[in-house]
Structure 1
Amino acid sequence: MTSTILITGATAGIGAASARLFVHNGWRVIATGRRGDRLRALQDELGDALLPLELDMRDTESLLRLGELGGEWGEIDLLLNNAGLAPPTDALQDADYPKLETSIQTNVTGLVALTRSLLPGIIRRKGAVINLSSVAATYPYRGGAVYAGTKAFVRQFSLDLRCDLAGTGVRVTSIEPGMAETEFTLVRTGGDQAASDSLYAGVEPMTAEDIADTIWWIATLPPHLNINTIELMPTRQSFAGFTVSRTDQA
């Protein structure tokens, strides 16, 4: 029997890499994202095993209707909540509020709406939910208040969702990656390729495919095993030191 995964944010990075990996291993993939041209290109590449759905994670009504998908596409075994974005790294007092709100709506509100919509079917099929959080959920940094806050929500949401689903057979995992070179920084900086290149230079960062492989491993574990949380970093990345603000000694 063919299994089905719904992947949000499948137009690039981890979402696109996961779509390729799951299709190549015989799954059906429902791929969602805002950029319809990229979704259509992905369908051209992967064929009829991929169903492209152009939608915005801020469109709550459309997300709630996804639970009404019919036929074989409505039999969803795995929800991969991958879509997410970060506002610029301005300190909160200097930040542009609409950009903060977009991140909250995408990373939190949309994720909750979609998960709630699909859960009844996932419960019937004893499926799984995998949520993409971040090491930012645990380790703070300047300019990350809203992004890190949303990812901390995702981490805690995953743990509490598992409590709600106890006894149903549904597995829930929070994946918390560190530096992975995708379009994340390009989106965050408004398309500044130099900033992205500078951030990852000499780090040997993780790739989208590295994270997709981890997602595949979790998805294909025996059904009696649940990975609650998993944190990944490139070897060259470690934990930040404390910041100290000193008085003027002059």
Structure 2
Amino acid sequence: MTLHLPRLGLGTSDLGITLGDGDDDPEECVTAVETALDLGYRHVDTAQMYGNEHLVGKAIERSDVGRDEVVLATKVHPQNLAYDDVIETTKESLDRLRTDYVDLLYVHWPIDAYDPDETLPAFDRLREEGYIDHVGVSNFTVETLEVARGVLDAPIAANQIQLHPMLPPTEGERAELLPYAAEHDIEVVAWSPLARGEALSLAPVRAVAEKHGVSPARVILAWLSDFDVSVVAKASTRDHLEDNLEAPSLSLDDEDVERIESIEERKRLFDREDAPWNQ
């Protein structure tokens, strides 16, 4: 079975759950997912770490879109990557998501309890038993992918990594990663493509947006799509969801691309000292 990921998916990090400040708005997440599905989104991405799987599941159940039409992905928390914990917490995720299976289950980060020889056989077992359709990884480099491929029976269907104008696909470990993924039929999925909104105010991005009469978000998503990657972008309002959905239809010329790639600022969000690129 081959994984077919839509080029644009809905990211749900922080939707409905704001840890620590008491301002949680669960309906924000439910409404966003329902609206996205109504507009034509068919890829929804969540994680144990986000704390909103129950809200995503509620939205999909309430939607008029059939469960079998949605590519539903979640990720196992780095602290839950011991063999038994992977099995137990994935089943708990399925309960929260109100589904018998997920299309794609990721190792969220190769850190904390992650041990390839212990963690990955649990993913194989879940796939063999029908709880997941595809195995994915997140925040992996070529080196960690090589190790994982050597342990897994299942193919790695996707690697979700951070990509945006301040962390472009053509530099660092990413420059090696994209060709490797293409060679081994691994989908690259970009997370935080707008850098939590910080990339929207970058002058070159705004200049390209003004030239085409579109939003900066649409420019960034269109730019990333030219690298043949899928994108999960968070949005909570209908206007933003609709705008993001139009990004693949925006054609950028060489001048536009040069402007975006002239950005010199480099920033990695949510970096970890024990992340593989820091070793």
Q: Same fold (TM over 0.5)?
A: no
TM-score, length-normalised on structure 2?
0.36
TM-score, length-normalised on structure 1?
0.39
